Structure 1
Amino acid sequence: MELVDYVSTFICVAPDTAAVAGVAPRPHGETPTVASAIFDMLTAAPPYTYRSSDVIFTVWADRNDVPPETRPEVWPTFFQGPHACLRSSDLGKKYGWGIHADADGRLAVYALGTPEYSALAAGFSRDGSPVKVTRAMRSGR
């Protein structure tokens, strides 16, 4: 696992978010925003398909036009430096989405205000096992 991967963790929305429910982020123009690219990747696949490292790398590679055939070679070099984790994503800061990483580090998103979000925010996963609860980073100081 890369240093950006979480396990058995739920990232709640930021304490200073204005969101009251989960809203799908949309691209500005033709280019997807980072938040919309992350959201689309996580919701297009079945829940708990990708790890944080998969998402962060794929979104970066797509935005930087890295050809799919060279991505396995680029992966180790990409993760040699520091990278923002999903706590800094606008999904939790602006759009009202919590991100759950299961015991294997695989992700799913849950909208603020849903029963699933509430259970995870209380520290319990779908199977009743405990999860560490953290928050998305604040947008301001």
Structure 2
Amino acid sequence: MDLNYYDTLIAVAEDCPVDESTVPPPGRDGKKTIAVVQFEMLSDGPGELTQEDVLFETWLRRQEGLGAVPEAERAELRARLFAKPQACLRASPLPKKYGWGLLFDARGRVTLCPMESEDYRRIVAGSVPDVTVRRAMRSRRG
């Protein structure tokens, strides 16, 4: 089952608390938050990862004691992770709290799209007809 988005922008949540994109702050005790892990992955390799890659790598990097995982074991862990339902990137803190849109291309590869950028504004306004806009999930019920 393919969990990736294609030609889609995950726009910031309606209740996003910022007016422009911000870099997520480091976590307590030096432990990276989900937002920091995802931000680093996506800013270091724009257009390289799919939603599934981001979800798996986020989960993997936050597991304590795993260290370097051989490729065969990575495939097994990935299969086990996706055997259960997973929240998609619409639930990511990047579009919910930090003002980053997530733009997926035709191959399902994702790049960060700052909410203050011209590209973001054009896509959200509907000026790019081949891109579907989905809002990130709200942080609070409304």
Maintained 8 Å contact 1:38/1:59:
yes
Q: Take 1:120 and 1:19, find their aligned partners in 2: how far apart are those partners? A: 19
Instruction: Identify the residue that residue 133 of structure 1 maps to in structure 2.
Output: 133
2:117 maps to which of 108, 114, 121? 114
Q: Secondary structure at the match of 2:134?
A: strand
Q: Secondary structure at the match of 1:116?
A: helix
Q: Any stretches of 5+ residues in structure 1 without a counterpart?
A: none
Runs of 4+ in structure 1 deviating by more than 3 angstroms, as ranges, are none
Given the two structures, how large is their TM-score scaled by the length of structure 1?
A: 0.90
1:80 aligned to 2:79?
no
Using the TM superposition, give the Cα deviation of residue 62 of structure 1 relative to its aligned residue in structure 2, in angstroms: 0.9
Q: Take 1:102 and 1:123, find their aligned partners in 2: how far apart are those partners? A: 16
Maintained 8 Å contact 1:24/1:95:
yes
Give % identity. 38
Q: Secondary structure at the match of 1:15?
A: coil
Q: Take 1:123 and 1:77, find their aligned partners in 2: how far apart are those partners? A: 38
Instruction: Identify the residue that residue 97 of structure 1 maps to in structure 2.
Output: 100
Given the two structures, how large is their TM-score scaled by the length of structure 2?
A: 0.89
Code of the aligned partner of 2:135: R
Q: Secondary structure at the match of 2:39?
A: helix
Maintained 8 Å contact 1:23/1:96:
yes
CA deviation digits over 1:37-87, x for unaligned, max 9?
Answer: 001100011x21000000000010111144421212211111100111100
Instruction: Identify the residue that residue 32 of structure 2 maps to in structure 1.
Output: 32
Using the TM superposition, give the Cα deviation of residue 108 of structure 1 relative to its aligned residue in structure 2, in angstroms: 0.3
How many residue pairs get aligned? The number is 136
Code of the aligned partner of 1:68: V
Maintained 8 Å contact 1:123/1:130:
no
Maintained 8 Å contact 1:2/1:79:
no
Provide the aligned C-alpha RMSD in A. Answer: 1.5
1:51 aligned to 2:54?
no
Maintained 8 Å contact 1:8/1:105:
yes
CA deviation digits over 1:70-113, x for unaligned, max 9?
Answer: 21221111110011110001111110000011111000011111
Q: Secondary structure at the match of 2:122?
A: helix
